[in-house]
Structure 1
Amino acid sequence: MEQDPGSDPSPPAMSDPDAPSSDDAEQLRAYREAARRRLRERVGAIVRTIRAPLSDVIRDHALVHLPPAASARLRLVHPSWARALASPLFASAHAAAPRRVSGLFVAAPPAAGWFLPLDAADTVPSPSLAFLPASSAPAVLSSSHGVACCFSPADDAYFVCNPATESWEAVPCPPCRITWPRPAIVVVFDASVYNFGGDFTLVCAFESAPGSGIYCFAVFTSVTGAWWVADAVAPAEGLIPESGVAAGGMAWWRTTIGTAVGYNPVTGRVQLAVCPGDSAQWEIGSAAGRLHCAVRADGDVMVFRLDGHGGWEAAATISIAEILQRPWPPYPAYELTESDDDDAEAGNRAEQERTGAIAAVAANRFRMPGDDVRLLPFQGAEVEVVLLAGGRRVVAFDAVTRRWREAVLRSEPAGTDWGAAAYAAHTNTLVPIAPVVLMEPLDDQEAAS
């Protein structure tokens, strides 16, 4: 049978089921084009960063790490620097940047409270907070990321302020009047870059009944503008008002029975932690956003951090001799003997200087008076132990870099016992203070006032 010459002798073509369709091919081309576009953008960003002027690099990446006093002076460098430093986003980033403690607010009645800087360049314009409308120097109750809560006993008035920028807001009194001279109030501040408005929270611990040892918690937020009493209660016999710190979004206090009690104003959760050592010689603080405690153990300071299960884990162990860096109190390390022979005298002196230096280090380690050293509150991005030694000497020691900073308390008024003073650790930032619109208390809270 003859085949039609016009017909195709090959069998009909079959479609490949695995071959990409026109829609799939178009989608693949779109993916490849998007990947090339992202690559071009990244390369362009790298090129722009490399070619950026040094002044722009410093403005965008270095200014946020400077103390507020230095940042204020740099506003005059260039108008773009002034605009950047005046931005609320920059102030929020400045508070969120990791930094170490700037100093301590000290209150030792009858002396007026004041700020003791650990760095001369990282101080505040008014150490006594004279910009606040108070008839007497207010006491700083607590501080978090540059936001301080202050109390004026003479006026029975409360303020939340930024001592570095001298901005402040008045807040109403807690619903329950405090029965002790110093209220147990902790300011909790979210230092994330999203809190560019400067919203804050105050947590006040108060005893449900005098002598009961059971504590309740009153909460105030700048958003609501009113206090309310939480439902949570906690056993906190002997709560120490001046020990309050903020860590991990919670307010914490020490007690005289060797426990730490914390309250979370967001979740309403109460947490208790037991001192991991001698509760007569311990202090709590904040480091890297977590609660830490420092405990005296013979000639060392042991630092622990609170884990996620309510227990403590060791963070650092530092010798007190290493923190203080020198014999305290000072005393002669060695005595030189007399000799008629000048050469022999020089040789004896060199040998005795060598052995005398060793003896001085040993004396510093083993003869240091233990009662002269007191642990003070601390806060910062890293663990930094703060000690009061010799009655007036304040030393901060970084457990990571092994570097120390030192400041000396005032000598007046004469006879002031700085070992019995109240201290509040403070870190200077440019964070703004959110305006407070006062609201009327809730009906079920009026009975508590």
Structure 2
Amino acid sequence: MRIKTSLLGVLALFFLPTISAQEVSFEEYDLDNGLHVILHQDNNAPVVTTSVMYHVGAKDENPEKTGFAHFFEHLLFEGTKNIKRGEWFKIVSSNGGQNNANTTQDRTYYYEVFPSNNLELGLWLESERMMHPIINQIGVDTQSEVVQEERRMRYDNSPYGRWREQMFIHLFKKHPYRWQTIGSLEHLANASLDDFKAFNKTYYVPNNAVLVVAGDISLEKTKKMVQDYFGPIPKGKDIQRQTFVEDPITTPIKAEYRDPNIQIPAIFLGYRTPAQTNRDAYVLDMVSTYLSDGKSSKLYKKLVDEEKKALQVFAFNGSQEDYGAYVVGALPVGETSLEDLQKDIDEEIGKLQSELISEKDYQKLQNKFENMFVNSNSSISGIANSLARYYMLYDNTGLINNEIEIYRSITREEILEVSNKYLKPNQRVALEYLPLEATEN
């Protein structure tokens, strides 16, 4: 298995320059059952990715039954009517392939990467997952243990593992973004087998999914195989989605959380931001990069290099389908207080809000985003993911080729304007993330 996997990786890397230099061509259409299909042909390397993205994430869950979307990421590898329990990964690896899945609050994504002579195998696997999943108590019990261990490792026992959870329960009061994809273990434990079957029947249907096939393929042969394997799958009922509108944050929200896994405190400042399709979300990407992406960023140079007040500085703009969250924070050095760090961060944001960034810094930003854009399309599996994501969450598959034009068109004036619009002290959550106090004898 290792030899085959390594060969697959070498082939992909060998042809990397050719892939990254080309515009991504694609063809898209719908099957009668509502499944959206996107095909990308690139015959430079004998590699193919088959992937399916379902429009279901943590935000689609019942508030009393959270964690289902992430749980299904695991559960649907348990087996199908034609794939015995425990055989899925063996089938993939024994045929020289790799596979994985991931879940966000907006969608769930499954994929396989095979040598291109196993294209049909990849399509069969994903059609089996969609049409013939086995959802029984054995699988539920098995994956419950897996999810429990994942939560312990990534959240409960991980330093700073619960900062996002704590931030989002304050940023969002109405929207399901207020809980994390891992969900509640108690909710999962109390769920019935019928609850899991109902979730599958509702969301894992062709009219709630996009299939992407990318790589060394023949378009006509692939279309026939797609029709053969996915065409017979029945269309599901139309999904009724709720709309959640948050009240604006108009006064500062102060929060505190004590983590038994840390010794150094941290300050997190979080701002609610617009949906990822909103132009302002793209501007906030640039703001985030300007402030803390790399050692040459403004906050890192000031707080870590020059003033030596912080061990680490970070910021990101986490845009999602309905809302986003811009978060900036730092870990102090020595006697530096969280209050001092917050003041310094505010000063740097204030500069961004009061004066245009320099032409040199602006060009540096543009160069970084050009580089990120090229890298996102530098592998067949990356292209498959982007095609699915742009179709499902942006309703514009063509962004895979022209999203960079949005970043190119952003001006220095917009960066100043958007910083003032969203990064106001009265519109944020200030989370002090602290060590657990020692118990007094």
In the superposition, the TM-score normalised over structure 2's length comes to 0.22
Question: Which of these two proteins has the greater Rg computed from alpha carbons?
Answer: 1
By percentage of residues, which structure has more strand?
1
